Structure 1
Amino acid sequence: MNQFQYVRPTKQQAAIDVVAKDANAAFIAGGTNLVDLMKRGVMTPQKLVDINRLPLRQIERAGSGLRIGALALNSAVADDRLVREKHPLLALALNAGASPQLRNMATVGGNMLQRTRCPYFYDTTMPCNKRQPGSGCGALEGINRMHAIFGFSDKCIAVHPSDMSVALVALDATVLLSGPKGDRKLAFADFHRLPGDTPQRDTNLEPGELITAVEIPDSPFTKHVHYQKVRERASYAFALLSVAAALDMDGNTIKAARLAMGGVAHKPWRLAAAEQALVGQPATEETFRQAAAVAMQGAKAFKHNEYKLRLGPNAIVQALKTAAAA
């Protein structure tokens, strides 16, 4: 690991000023991803700005929704009474992620910013446009069983690893940001980026911007919800593919639906067309299979991840069946 400076400001603006003025500085909170990347030489910040003293851990009502501070721990959010009552889908997704030890350290903001677990990104001897723009994508012709089937480019086929983010995009969350130019809000669906020609950019954060909170509007999705995560082992494993499903039911009729997938794209993948296909339909397996077929339109696999084309619709159907029965 390279040597670095360490500062621990107590004021939000002071933390922002340090990172805004130094392109080699980075915020750090729980450090559950950044420290690993530094150990591997993938990221080499010369200055770490510890933001743990900032007052950003609140979980509280805010107007007609819920505001969760960027420094709230994943474990605290998953266990919070308001979260479990108002947004149980988020609690399910958080509890599906990582291990209890990591959830006790990882923060909401850090979870959003975690970087891909593509092995070519982590191996500094291999080509990776995300780590070193212009070097190529080793996964294109390499071992790509964990990789994208939606939204990829010829520059990068990596996937975003967060479970929490899949639930947040389904719940129409908003990200609160603060930076050198002031405060702003960004729809969660617009926070993460597809790779395009700039796979080194994971998000639409501006230089020096700090995530301060996430807001989730109240919704009717408080009962019929499920987070389906398919992985190679029962815990501490990233999703081969995941589905966040939420239904608003009137008897056996679907009034509204929310669907998103993880492990399939460079960002959490919202399934808006499939949501619309569910509205007004009976909660039957036939309905769910039709929606799954809509959801998978445009999916394309590579040599080693063709199984996702079969796993995807089956996981969507299972998630919807479990949500409907909740």
Structure 2
Amino acid sequence: MKTFTYEKATSAEAAVADTAATTRFIAGGTNLLDLMKLQVETPEKLVDISRLPLAEIEDMDDGGLRIGALVPNSDLAADSRVIERYEVLSRALLAGASGQLRNKATTGGNLLQRTRCYYFYDTSTPCNKRERGTGCSAIGGFNRILAVLGTSDQCIATHPSDMAVAMRALDATIVTLKHDGDKRRLSIHDFYRLPGDTPDIETVLEPGELITHVELPAPPQGARQLYSKVRDRASYAFALVSVAGVVAVEDGKIASAALAFGGLGPMPWRDAAVEAALVGKVPSDDGFAAAADALLKGAQGFGSNDFKIPLARRTLIACLRDLTGE
């Protein structure tokens, strides 16, 4: 491990004072410390934010929730308000990692965890996400767990978070603090970036910008919620395909639908065309197949992960049957 300096932040304002690109925030450290041990991440300075007062879950006036960035994943999954109003989020959290990791992992850190692409973790191989311009070893390599949507010729890595998939289906807003004291409110739909020619830049956060809260709007009344995760083993495994769904059926037709997907793209994936294929329609396998067609239009496998395309189709259709009572 390379030498670095360590500082305990006394306030959020003090934490964001250092905007150097080589500075990293640390709270639970469940991803960052692993990356540092492998020298995938080599920060010159760690700013410890774990003692900041950002570990509360608060009700908002509109019926939503305001979640501090330092709320542990276990606490968020077990909160009675989350279980009652946002079942999809609780189930997504419980599907991720192990109990020990969920006890340490934080809400903000979960949103920012890095890909589990084999080549990203192997510093002996080229990786554009680790060092831009060196190449993508996964293209033409072993890419079983990697993306089939939103890829580029520079990177086919997937985003690993379960929680972020549910939060995208729930239209979360991410609240941040910048070094100049300004606060930003970022829709989760605009938070992540596609790889394009800059796969090393994964979010729209600026250097030194700190996530302080995540806000969830009130869920649709009467909607069913579901999180389904297909993986290689029953626990401690990342999604091959996952679906977070919030669907309401009224008068025999789908009144609203919010569907997000994990394991398929470089970010928690959501496509308005999928929902447009469903809303206003009577639930049916033909309609569900049309939604799957919309999701997978343009999907591309890279050899080892070709199976994800038919798997995503079957998983989505099965989830839609459950969500609509069909």
Q: What secondary structure, in the 3-state scheme, does the structure 2 residue paired with 1:94 have?
A: helix
Measure how far apart 1:304 and its partner are: 1.3
Amino acid at match of 1:293: D
Is the 8 Å Cα contact of residues 30 and 106 (structure 1) preserved in structure 2? yes
SS, match of residue 203 in structure 1: coil
In the TM superposition, residue 219 of structure 1 has moved relative to its aligned partner by 2.3
**Which stretches of structure 1, 4 residues or longer, exceed 4 Å deviation after superposition?**
none
Q: Tell me how far 1:325 sits from its aligned partner.
A: 3.4
More displaced 10-residue stretch of structure 1: 135-144 or 315-324: 315-324
1:258-307 deviation per Cα after TM superposition (whole angstroms, max 9, x unaligned): 11111111111102111111112222333222211222111111111110
Query: Do the aligned partners of 1:70 and 1:212 also contact (CA within 8 Å) in 2?
Result: yes
Kindly provide the amino acid, as one letter, of the partner of residue 114 in structure 2.
R
Gaps of 5+ in 1: none
Stretch deviating more after TM superposition (214-223 or 62-71): 214-223
The 8 Å contact of residues 87 and 222 in structure 1, kept in 2 or not, is answered as: no
Give the alignment of 1:159-308 within 5 angstroms: 159-181=158-180, 182-220=182-220, 223-308=223-308
**Cα deviation, residue 194, structure 1:** 0.5
Alignment RMSD, CA only? Answer: 1.4
Q: Provide the C-alpha distance between the structure 2 equivalents of 1:231 and 1:274, rounded to a whole number of angstroms.
A: 23
Q: Counterpart in 2 of 1:92?
A: 91
Q: Does 1:116 align with 2:115?
A: yes
Percent identity reads 52
* Corresponding position of 2:73: 74
**Match for 1:58 among 56, 59, 82?**
56
Q: Distance in 1 between matches of 2:259 and 2:84?
A: 19
> Counterpart in 1 of 2:319?
319
For residues 16-31 of structure 1, what are the structure 2 equivalents within 5 Å? 16-18=16-18, 20=19, 22-31=20-29
1:225·1:324 contact (CA, 8 Å) conserved in 2?
no
Tell me the TM-score normalised to structure 1 length: 0.96
- Structure 2-normalised TM-score? 0.96
2:2 and 2:279 map into 1 onto residues whose CA distance is: 54
1-structure distance, mates of 2:61, 2:183: 18
Which residue of 2 is the match for residue 11 of structure 1? 11
1:35 partner SS: helix
1:157 aligns with 2:156: yes
Distance 1:67 1:297 in 2: 35
Tell me if the contact between 2:116 and 2:160 (Cα under 8 Å) persists in the aligned partners: yes
Residue pair 2:254, 2:280 contacting (<8 A) in 1 also: yes
Any conservation in 2 of the 1:71–1:108 contact (CA below 8 Å)? Answer: yes
Cα distance in 2 between the residues matched to 1:23 and 1:166 = 27
Task: Using the TM superposition, give the Cα deviation of residue 97 of structure 1 relative to its aligned residue in structure 2, in angstroms.
Answer: 0.7
Whether the aligned pair in 1 keeps the contact of 2:98 and 2:236 (CA below 8 Å) is yes
- Which moves more between the two structures, 165-174 or 218-227? 218-227
Does the CA contact (< 8 Å) of 1:70 and 1:108 recur in 2? yes
Post-superposition CA distance 1:201-259 (Å, at most 9, x none): 11110011000011111121665111111100000000111111111122532110011
